[in-house]
Structure 1
Amino acid sequence: MPLSNVLSDLIEDFDKPSFLYQAGAIVVCIVLGWGLGYAIRRAWLRGRSASGVVQMGVESFSFVLSPLAVVGFLALAKLLFASQRYNVHLLRLALPLFASLAVIRLAFYLMRRVFVRHGPVGAAMLTFEKIFAMLVWLAVALYIAGLWPDVFEFLDDTKLPLGKNKVSLAVVMQAVASVAVLLMVALWAGTALEERLMGVHGIHTSLRVVMARMSRAILIVVAVLLSLSLVGIDLTVLSVFGGALGVGLGLGLQKIASNYVSGFVILLERSLAIGDMITVDRFSGKVTQINTRYTVLQALDGTESVLPNEMLISGPVQSMSLSSRQVRLATQVTVAFDTDLDALMPLIEAECATVQRVLADPPPAAMFLRFGADGFELEVGIWINDPENGRGGVISEANLKIWHLLQRQGVSLPYPTRDLRIADPRLHAFLNTLAPE
C-alpha cells in the first residue's frame, strides 16, 4: 500500500459517512482501552494487599495494557466495519500506529523491569529507549508508505560472508531480533520468578537464591537455543563453541569456573545465608549478597568486601549465626585486694543484665580469673543474639554500668606502683647533687 494510495483513499473517504464512523470508532476504542487499563490497575491494587515491588510492577504494566487494549478494540472495530461493507482505510492506518505504541511501551516495561528494578532510570537507558522508539516508528512509516517489501527485498539480497557460506542481511537481523526479544522475555520471567521466590518465607533463603539463579540461567539458555532454531541455524554448530569453552576452562578460566561451582555449593548446602555474621581471613561483616561468583560482606562501618566464593569453600570461615545466633562477649576488670568478691560479683551480674541487648537466658556471669599483681582479676560474660548490630556498643554500655557500680560501692581500682632503688651509692650521691634545693 504505497503512501499515495493511502492518501488518496483517505481523501476519497473524507466526505463519506464511513470516515466519521471510523473516526468515532477510533475515539471510542481509545477511551475503552485506556479505561480498561485503569480499571484493571485499580481492581488489582484494591483486591489484594500488594507490596511495594508488586504495586510498582502492576502500575508499570498498566501503561502497556492500555495501548494493547486499544489495538484489540481497533481490530474488532475493523472486523465489524468490514462485515458491514464499510471502508476501513482510517482504521487500517490507526492499527499500526497504536500497535507500534504498544510495542514501544512493552519494550520499555521489559527493559526497566530487568535492568532498572530499583532507583531512577539512567541516562543510558533513556537514550537506548529513544533509539528503539525511533527505529519502531521508522519501521511503521516504511510499512504505511508501502516501502517495507522493497526494504526487505534489499536486505534479503545483501549477502554477508560467514565462513564458507553467505548469509543474507535479513536473516542476520531476524536472528538478532529474535535473540534480543526472547532473551528479554527470559530475563523478565527470571526477574519475576526471583521476586516471587524471595517472597516465599517457608523456604530457606539460600535455597530461594539458588532456585532463582538456576531458573534464570535455564530460561536464558532455552531462549538462545529457541531463537537460533527459529531462524534456521543448526544447533550442532554450537559443539565447536562447547569445545572452545572446555579448552578455555582448562587453560585460563579455572578460577572463574571454580567460583561459580563454589557459589552453587554454598547455596545448596546452606552453610551461609543472607544476614549471617561471618569472619573470613581478615574480613568480617554481614552477608548481604550471595551470587554465583562472589559473596558480599558488609562491615559494621559500612564498607563492603567482595569475596570470591572459592575463598569461602577452601578456607576456614568463622560464623556467628550458623546454628545459633547467640554470641558471648566478655569484659575484664581488676579490683583491689580488700574487695568483698562474694558481695560484688552478684551485683555486677545484676547490673549487666540491665543492658538493653544483653540476654536474660543465659544470664550474665562474673568469674574470678586469678590473683593479679595489683588486685583480683574478674571477667564478666554476657550474651547477645544480634551480632549483626555490632559488639562494641554492648561492651561499652556494660563497662559504664560496672564503673558506676564500683563508684557507688566504694570499690577502688588499683593501678600498678613501682619502687625504684639505686644500688650504687656514688650514683645516688651524684643524683642528689642534681636535685633542686
Structure 2
Amino acid sequence: MDQVSPDMINAAQGFWARIVLFFEIMLVPTRLYQLVAVAALLIVSWLLARVASRFFTDWLRHQANWPKWRLRLGLLIDRRMTLIVFMILAWAVALVMREITWPSRSQLIALAATIATAWVAIFFLARVIRNRFLRRIVSWAAWIWVTLYLLDLIQPAANFLDTLAITIGDLRLSALVVLKALAVTGLMIAGARILSRLITGRLSRNEDISPTMRVLTAKLLQVVLFSLAVIVGLKAVGFDLTGLAVFSGAVGVGLGFGLQKVVSNLVSGVIILLDKSIKPGDVISLGDTFGWIEELGARYVSVVTRDGKEYLIPNEDLVTGQVVNWSHTNNFVRLDLNFGTSYGDDPHKVSEIAINAALTVKRVLAQRRPVCWVTGFGDSSVDYVLRFWIGDAEAGLTNVRGQVYLALWDGFVENGISIPFPQREVRVLNEAIGLRRAGWEEPGQGPLAAESGRDD
C-alpha cells in the first residue's frame, strides 16, 4: 500500500476547502434564514409524518383485498413518510416564494427539495434489487453521489477518492474505482433481473414450449444475464479482469472439492430439465412424500403436499433414487379397493353393484370403466378388488378412495348386501365355576377326581 503522498494531501485539502467554502456561502445573512426555514420544515415534516403514519397504517390494514405489490408499496411509503412530507412541503414553499419574491431567496429551499426528491426516487428504484446487502450498497452510493453532485462537490470528492489507492503489481485499485464498480455492477444486476423476469414471464405464457424447456431456458438465461452484468459492470469502470484469471482458476478448483454436493445437485438439475422426467405440475411420490412439483430450482425441487407442507428435495435424490411420477406420460392413475361380502350374497350382483357405485363418483373416469374381480374365498367372506381410474391425481388419492368407499356402502345397504366381520363366542361353564366356589380347586380332589379315577 502506498504511503501518504503529496497528491493525496492536496486532494484532501482541496476537498475540505470546497466544503468550507460551501458552508461560508450558506451562512451569509441573506441565506441564513433559508437554512432556518429548511430546519423548520424538517421539524414540521417529522411531526406531520408521525400523525399521518397512524392514519395511513390503519387505512392499509383495511385494504385486505389489495394485491401484494400495492401493500408493499404502501409499507415503503410509510417507511419514508417524513422524507416524502418534507419534499412536498419544501417544493410548496419554494414555489410560493418564487411567485412572491426573488428566486434567489428560495434557492436553498429548492435545493433541499431537489435532494429530498432524488433520495425518495433512489429509495423506490432500489427496490428492484432483491439482495438486501447489495441494495443498501447501491442506495447509499447513489444517495451520496447525487448529494455531492447537487452540491457541486463531485469533482473534489472524486479527486480525493482517487488518491486512496493500493497498487499490486500493475494493478492500481482506488476507492473511486471500487465505488464505481459496486454501483455500476449493482445497477447492471438489477437490470439483468428485470430483463430476466420479463423474458421468463413471456416464456411461461408460450404454450408451444414444454414446461421443462421453459424452466431450462429461464435458468440458462439468468446465468448468462447475471454473468454479463458482472463482467460488463466491472469493465465499464475500467477494472482489469485478466489479473483475476489465475486466481479464479485456483478458487474454482478449491470450490470444486469443497462443494461437491452442491455441484452434483446443480448438474442433476440440468439433467432433470433435459430428460424431461420431472416437470412443474407433476404428481410424484418419493418415499413417504406425496405431492405435486411446485418449482424446479437450480439445487432442489419444491414439492407441495396435500396438507400444505413444502418439501425441498435435492436434485441428486431425484436422479439417483426411485421416484414414482404419477403423471409422467399421462395423468391416468389406477386405484384398487379391497373389500369382502358374505357367502350368502351373489358375487355377480356384488360386482355389478360395486362398479355402478364407483361410477357415481365424479372423479372416477367412465371412459375407463371400473372392474371388480373375486380375489379369493376367505374364512368369513368372499374377497373382491375394485379397480378404477382417475385423471387428476394432484387433487388427492385418499379423498377419492373415501368417496368410493361411501358409494359402496350406500349401494350395499340399498341392495341388502352384508359385509361380514369377525365374531367371537365366549362360553361360561357354570358347573366348573360352582365347584371352584365350593372349594374344589386343587387337582385330584372332590367328585371330579373320583370320576376320573373310575374312568381309569
TM-score by length of 1: 0.69
2:197 is the counterpart of 1:191: yes
Residue type at the aligned position of 2:130: F
Residue 39 of structure 2 corresponds to none
CA contact (8 A) 2:371 2:387 kept: yes
| Structure 1 unaligned spans of 5+ | 12-51, 57-86, 117-123
How far has the Cα of 1:337 moved from its partner?
0.6
Amino acid at match of 1:284: F
Could you give the per-residue CA deviations for residues 362-415 of structure 1, whole angstroms, max 9, x where no partner exists? 022111111111121111112111111111111111111111221121222222
Amino acid of the residue matched to residue 416 of structure 1? P
Structure 1 residues 135 and 410: alpha-carbon distance in aligned structure 2, compared to 1, 3 A threshold: same
> Deviation digits for residues 172-228 of structure 1, max 9, x if unmatched?
212222221212211221122222212222211111111111101101111111122
Equivalent residue pairs, number: 354
The answer on 1:247 being equivalent to 2:253 is yes
Cα-to-partner distance string for 1:24-61 (whole Å, 9 max, x where unaligned): xxxxxxxxxxxxxxxxxxxxxxxxxxxx99999xxxxx
Between the two proteins, what is the percent identity of the paired residues? 30
Deviation of 1:434 (Å): 5.3
Change (3 A) 1:230 1:135: closer
- Residue 319 of structure 2: which of 297, 305, 313 is its match? 313
* TM alignment of 1:16-165, pairs within 5 A: 101=117, 105=121, 108-109=124-125, 111-113=126-128, 115=130, 136-160=142-166
Q: Which residue number corresponds to residue 263 of structure 1? A: 269
Q: In structure 2, do the counterparts of structure 1 residues 210 and 432 end up closer, same or farther at CA, with 3 Å as the change threshold? A: farther
1:340 corresponds, among 312, 328, 346, to 346
Q: Hey, what's the Cα distance between the residues in 2 that align with 1:431 and 1:249?
A: 83
Q: How many angstroms apart in 1 are the aligned matches of 2:355 and 2:260?
A: 54
Q: Confirm whether residue 397 of structure 1 aligns to residue 412 of structure 2.
A: no
Residue 141 of structure 1 deviates from its aligned partner by: 3.7
Residue 276 and residue 328 in structure 1: after superposition, are their counterparts in 2 closer, same or farther (change >3 A)? same
CA–CA distance in structure 2, aligned partners of residues 249 and 157 of structure 1: 35
One-letter identity of the residue aligned with 1:171: V
1:420 is displaced (CA, Å) by 7.4
1: CA distance, partners of 2:433 / 2:216: 78
Give the Å deviation of 1:321: 0.2
By how many angstroms is 1:313 displaced? 0.6
User: Counterparts of 1:166-205 in structure 2 under 5 Å?
Assistant: 166-205=172-211
- Going from structure 1 to structure 2, the CA distance change for 1:102 and 1:200 (only over 3 Å counts) comes to farther
Aligned-residue RMSD, C-alpha:
4.1
Contact 1:366 1:379 survives alignment (8 Å): yes
CA distance in 2, matches of 1:229, 1:180: 13
Q: Which has the larger radius of gyration?
A: 2
Q: Is the Cα contact below 8 Å between 1:96 and 1:140 reproduced in 2?
A: no
Partner of 1:16: none
CA apart distance, 1:245 = 3.7
Secondary structure class of the residue paired with 2:328: coil
| Residues 220-299 of structure 1 mapped to structure 2, 5 A cutoff | 220-299=226-305
Does the 8 Å contact 1:100/1:136 carry over to 2? no
Q: Which residue of 2 aligns with 1:300?
A: 306
Instruction: Output the CA distance in 1 between the equivalents of 2:111 and 2:201.
Output: 35
